[in-house]
Structure 1
Amino acid sequence: MCFLIAVVELIQSLVFLGNSMNLVRYFLNYMHYPVAQSSNMLTNFVGISYLLTIVVGYINDSYLPKLTAFVLYATIELLGVILLTYQAKNPNLLPPENETPSTFQAATLYIGLGAMAIGIGGTKATMPTHGADQLDHNKEGLISSFFNWYYIALMVAGILASTLMVWIEESYGWGWSFMISALLLCCSISIFSAGFSLYRCKKPSGSPIKRMIKVFVASTRNTNDTRSVEVHQSVKEQSYAKEKSYNKFKFLNKALNDDTIEVAQVEGTKSLLGLLPIFATTIMLNCCVAQSMTFSVHQGNFMNRKIFNFTITTQSISLVPLVVILVFIYLVEQSKRFYGNNKAINKIYEPHVRMGVGLVVSSVSMAVAAVVEYKRLKEFNEGNLMSAFWLMTQTLLLTFSEVNVVGGMLEFFYSKAPNGMRNLCTSLPWCSNAMGYFFSTMLVTACNSVSGIFGEAWIGGQDLNQDRLDLFYALLSFLSFINFIVFVIFVRRF
């Protein structure tokens, strides 16, 4: 069953990545929006898609069974893609040359994109938890392997999206791209539905937010009760005092004096509060990842991108690191078969260790990026073009970092999530992705404002060769290292 889920996720991610990687060109060439507005539209689309995972995670935990949830969200996404297909193939729904869209044309576009965003956020929030629910939770190695294969599916989708789908869009137009996306979504729904009779499906357990609010209210009310003088005021609290989690967020223990509050509710609230700071430390990584989709592309345009007599795109350079990491993950999975009983080896594979390694490597990748950009500027000022393949090292390191952090987050948050909150907690990695992109924009703006006070803004000009992107990368490296230290502190406390 997990194999079916991995295949479905591959198809879903292929549709999302295949369109989002090049969607800015659809806004520019088909809808005739200005460059800046097109870029903002794409950023908003991706960001909203990921942020919706939190909303969907809450809905799934509270009300919707996962089987119903996936079919619903995937169908909404399919309807959005069908609408965009109809628009791309119907000249009446596209603006004339050199004219911006009419209100009706723009509304059609936004409705289609909105439906896609809901579907993407819904399936991203549903699939990881549903896949892990099919496994025996007494065997942690199985859950770890599932999330590794889940991420392999994402990477294969990224490779196909950046090659096959982009080629279709450039060669045959967006009408064909959207049509193929619609067919792929139909396939994903059919493949997922084929396993209906075999899936394990847990029923929603009600609103986790309401349960948390009840714990906070009860703990506040009982803490303010001056009539109590004993340390352990109830049988439940006396029994709970023997648990390791008793001393964490101790103010919540007073909620146990309320007859309607159970120990599991208090522990669940504590677990979520402990996970939130760890989640916050992953945002910095995604801020670094955002640079590979923006500034790195601009760097490549000022570098030598020729192989023999053929000029490649900067985006194509990322294919080699993706393949290398894909092979690496496969070898890791194979090694588990031979060393699965070795405690020292298993320690390395623990999700929080992988996350820590990923955060350290992200700092190293930005340091390498700073050195490469410094050398590029030096070569450019001397009249030489540096090879674009120097970007491959930082891309490889950043991809390795992202794989470890995101894969570790999915496993860590799923395994540590309170019962009834697993959909919500496994949505946090995607939320971190969106917040990383937004934080990147804020950091660039703040960096330019501060550096502009002391001279010229580091990356405030129109010409990258007149900017100091190397200093910005160095700043990201420093912030990433501080972020890693904070992560270690929070993990140890958890």
Structure 2
Amino acid sequence: MGVKDASTTATNFFGTLCFFSFLGAFVSDSYIKCFYTILIFAPIEIMATFQAHFPSLHPPPCDTVNNPNECTPVSGRNLSLLTLGLYLVPIGESSIRACAAALGGDQFDGDDPAEIPGKISFFNWYEICISLGGFLGLVVLVWVQDNKGWGLGFALAALMVLVGTAVVAVGLPFYRHREPTGSPVTRILQVFVAAFRKRKLPLPENLVEVSDGTGTSAAVDDGDRRRWSLCTVTQVEEAKIILRMLPVLMSSILAYVPFSLLLSFTVQQGGAMDTHLGAMSIPPGSLFVVPILFQMLILTAYDRAVVPWLRRATGLAGGVTHLQRVGVGFACSAMALAIAAVVEGRRRRRGASSAAMSAFWLTPQYLVISVMDVTSFVGLLEFFSSEASAGMKSIGSSIVFCVLGAGSWLGSLLIQVVNRATAHAGGGHGWLDGASLNASRLDLFYWLLAVLGLVAFFLYLFCAWNYTYRHDPRMQKDDDDDKVVSPASTKQAAPVV
């Protein structure tokens, strides 16, 4: 595929991978426990192994680096099977992304002050383990794929999935399990439907009391006692939580648009540069080892040294608030894009000799990308997981991946829009046209993304500044997780519609 099509395919796949996490979250919160959701869905993602095994399903081999114009793009039945194989992965991966974080968080009692620091530390180590898995994949699997074939590489990946699932199963006797509470999506929809139905009713002097076992509140009684007309206090509070988080959610999506594109195009940058380290040639795909190593080092130092110091200095359980941590990451995103634009401009100015420019010039942008991932991803994971009500913990975790997925899809749209607009202004040749980066203007596209990242950062700051946490970050949680929603909610009961 050319630069535009390959990047669009990669970002679309990543977006779908993230969005399908909502499926696993919905199933685990509504019907079965997180543990069983992982066991059921995880093996599905190994199906892509079969597509990679049969040579008849591959396009003809060619030299994509030296003679890219002679390559035949994948099309027809092979493209359909490739797409099918790719999109089986998100169905299985969704359970791991949504439920692993939720299952791990459930092992800590949020009402026990002694366990709260462990819960905060868990999410840091959860990200370290994700990075370690990525490191092994990039070092071991990429080498196998490049030297022994994609079929064997996918087979090893499938084996890792099965072994990992078995390891999760071994822990069954030791887990704390959170019981499903029914569909949280349905409960929230009932609130909006009931509110819409009663939008024209006057507020009477005598309100009816409604109880759901966790709390009682007043409601407008029009004689219809069905669930889609009369909702409990817990349902209303869940709806209020989602509405209050919505501005942070939307601004985070915009801030993640440049991130997914930067990851995709950086691999293509590496493929157009010299990837030798001494006498050893490193595959472009393995260049992601650099930011993953940075991530593991930064996260370890942050969890073991920075957080304890910040905790003593600020009095906050996590050293900083969740949204402050996310904000640092979004600021780093704009910085990484500016660095990437400078490096790509230098590479492009060297023209045909750009292969002599070392791919390790990408290290600065990799470092800043790592800081962004360490701060924004983990911060959002902590934020949505802690702010969600007890019956929406898995969905709270999945929202983070939905943010990444929506950012990827918008990134794909942005590629198409920018390329079409620049092709119209440039006499038919867009910034991202051509089979190689030397025929494109990726440097200008990076500068555009840097501006977009800066705008997204200030928009996020505005939304985060006006957000009210459910619990004071300096205080411990109350006994009833669903009754404490905000400082204002402790003064008067929330109405039920």
Shift of 1:396: 1.2
Equivalent residue for 1:250?
Answer: none
Residues 12 and 409 of structure 2 are in contact (CA less than 8 Å); yes or no, is this contact kept in structure 1? no
Residue type of the alignment partner of 1:478: V
Task: Assess, with a 3 A threshold, how the Cα gap between structure 1 residues 335 and 345 changes in structure 2: closer, same or farther.
Answer: farther
Shift of 1:342: 0.8
Alignment of 1:22-421 (within 5 A): 44-78=12-46, 80=47, 84-85=49-50, 113-138=86-111, 139=113, 140-226=116-202, 228=203, 260-335=230-305, 338-339=308-309, 341-344=311-314, 346=316, 348-380=319-351, 385-421=356-392
Task: Assess, with a 3 A threshold, how the Cα gap between structure 1 residues 480 and 345 changes in structure 2: closer, same or farther.
Answer: farther
Deviations 1:81-129 (A, max 9, x none): 6xx35x65567x75796898996x8887666555433111122111111
Q: How large is the RMSD of aligned CA atoms in angstroms?
A: 3.5
Residues of 2 paired with 1:36 and 1:461: CA distance? 8
Residue type of the alignment partner of 2:142: V
Residue type of the alignment partner of 1:204: P
450-459 vs 128-137, greater mean Cα deviation: 450-459
Structure 1: gaps spanning 5 or more residues: 1-27, 29-33, 238-242, 244-252
Residue type of the alignment partner of 1:468: R
How many percent of aligned residue pairs carry the same amino acid?
29
Residue type of the alignment partner of 2:17: S
Residues of 1 paired with 2:447 and 2:344: CA distance? 10
Residue type of the alignment partner of 1:208: P
Shift of 1:460: 3.3
Deviations 1:418-445 (A, max 9, x none): 2212211211122222222221121122
Residues of 1 paired with 2:280 and 2:311: CA distance? 49
Shift of 1:46: 3.7
Residue type of the alignment partner of 2:296: L
Residues of 1 paired with 2:372 and 2:458: CA distance? 16
Shift of 1:229: 6.4
Shift of 1:395: 1.6
Residues 218 and 255 of structure 1 are in contact (CA less than 8 Å); yes or no, is this contact kept in structure 2? no
Residues of 1 paired with 2:264 and 2:19: CA distance? 20
Task: Assess, with a 3 A threshold, how the Cα gap between structure 1 residues 123 and 463 changes in structure 2: closer, same or farther.
Answer: closer
Residue type of the alignment partner of 2:239: T
Task: Assess, with a 3 A threshold, how the Cα gap between structure 1 residues 345 and 363 changes in structure 2: closer, same or farther.
Answer: farther
Residues of 2 paired with 1:292 and 1:352: CA distance? 23
Residues 363 and 477 of structure 1 are in contact (CA less than 8 Å); yes or no, is this contact kept in structure 2? yes
Alignment of 1:467-478 (within 5 A): 467-478=440-451
360-369 vs 423-432, greater mean Cα deviation: 423-432
Residues of 2 paired with 1:229 and 1:479: CA distance? 49
Residues of 2 paired with 1:354 and 1:193: CA distance? 33
159-168 vs 109-118, greater mean Cα deviation: 109-118
Residues 332 and 368 of structure 2 are in contact (CA less than 8 Å); yes or no, is this contact kept in structure 1? yes
Shift of 1:216: 1.2
Shift of 1:178: 3.1
Q: Classify the secondary structure of the residue corresponding to 2:433.
A: coil
Residue type of the alignment partner of 1:159: F
Equivalent residue for 1:480?
Answer: 453
Q: TM-score, normalised by structure 2?
A: 0.77
Deviations 1:348-381 (A, max 9, x none): 4322111010001101111111222223333438
Q: TM-score, normalised by structure 1?
A: 0.78
Task: Assess, with a 3 A threshold, how the Cα gap between structure 1 residues 180 and 419 changes in structure 2: closer, same or farther.
Answer: same
Residues of 2 paired with 1:106 and 1:448: CA distance? 23
Task: Assess, with a 3 A threshold, how the Cα gap between structure 1 residues 446 and 215 changes in structure 2: closer, same or farther.
Answer: same
Equivalent residue for 2:491?
Answer: none
435-444 vs 295-304, greater mean Cα deviation: 295-304
Equivalent residue for 1:492?
Answer: 465
Q: Classify the secondary structure of the residue corresponding to 1:282.
A: helix
Residues 204 and 220 of structure 2 are in contact (CA less than 8 Å); yes or no, is this contact kept in structure 1? no
Residues of 1 paired with 2:289 and 2:460: CA distance? 30
Task: Assess, with a 3 A threshold, how the Cα gap between structure 1 residues 106 and 193 changes in structure 2: closer, same or farther.
Answer: same
Shift of 1:271: 0.8
Shift of 1:65: 1.5
Residue type of the alignment partner of 2:260: A
Residue type of the alignment partner of 1:282: S
Q: Classify the secondary structure of the residue corresponding to 1:303.
A: coil
Q: Classify the secondary structure of the residue corresponding to 1:197.
A: helix
Q: Classify the secondary structure of the residue corresponding to 1:264.
A: helix
Equivalent residue for 2:418?
Answer: 447
Shift of 1:40: 6.3
